[in-house]
Amino acid sequence: MFFAAHWTKAYLEGELLGAGGFGCVFAGIRKEDGLPVAIKFVSKTMPYEKLQLTGYGWLPTEIALMVLANFKPCSRILKILDWFEEPKHYVVILERPEPCLDLHEFSSKQGGCLTEVVARHVMFQLMEALTHCKSQGILHRDVKPENILIQTGTWQVKLFDFGCGDLVKDYYNDFAGV
């Protein structure tokens, strides 16, 4: 599945969904079945740490952590569907639930705060996602409203963006996240 032919043979790129310090994310469609996807471009110009995974070799940390997080499927973690390496960047193909907003946008549309019922529902699912990450040996290190998707019709939560993450350790000497 990974390191398949050039990504444009299988996916169609759409509009920009967001941009950050390490790259940008576009809406997209998987050509074979019309599945909505997110296409994340991660620049190689930034210093990019790598992890070695059995059966995969050395992978950029973000991709390796998403592979580990999805090894045992969890409905609270955004699924990585595919990824590609290009000369100047990595291209990561992720599921794109519809309709959805990140928690910051969702909260803003609710008048800036959530009801106790909605907040409890969101937090319970976020704790499920983080518990799953820990069970897979992953520390996300950048949990914030912009990294939590909410499906607006069902209030289903998906945690994403493992770019600042790491494997669980006894201690950390550096800061990650914003």
Give pLDDT tens digits for 19-35.
876 679 999 999 999 99
How many domains, the chain? 2
Tell which of 95, 118, 133 closes a domain. 95
- Confirm whether 15 is domain-assigned: yes
Residue 111 lies in a domain: yes
Predicted pLDDT of residue 2:
42
Handedness of CA 153, 158, 164, 168 (dihedral sign): positive
% of the chain surpassing 70 pLDDT = 93
**77 and 129 share a domain?**
no
Alpha-carbon separation of residue 80 from 52, 63, 106, 115, 154 (angstroms): 17, 8, 23, 31, 21
125 and 54 in a single domain? The answer is no
- Mean pLDDT of the 66-79 span: 95
Q: Is the pLDDT of residue 13 over 90?
A: yes
Q: Which of 75, 95, 115 is the last residue of a domain?
A: 95
Q: pLDDT, tens digit, for every residue of 41-55? A: 988 876 678 899 888
Predicted confidence at residue 1, as pLDDT, reads: 39
Q: Are residues 12 and 90 in the same domain?
A: yes
Q: Provide the annotated active-site residues.
A: 142
Mean pLDDT of the chain: 90
Tell which of 48, 71, 95 closes a domain.
95
Answer yes or no: is pLDDT of 126 > 70.
yes
Could you tell me the residue range of the domain that residue 85 belongs to?
A: 7-95
Of 34, 27, 26, the closest CA to residue 10 belongs to 34
Q: What phi and psi values does residue 137 have, to the nearest 5 degrees?
A: 80, 25
pTM beyond 0.75: the answer is yes
| Angle 9-12-18 from CA coordinates, rounded to 5° | 130
1 part of a folded domain: no
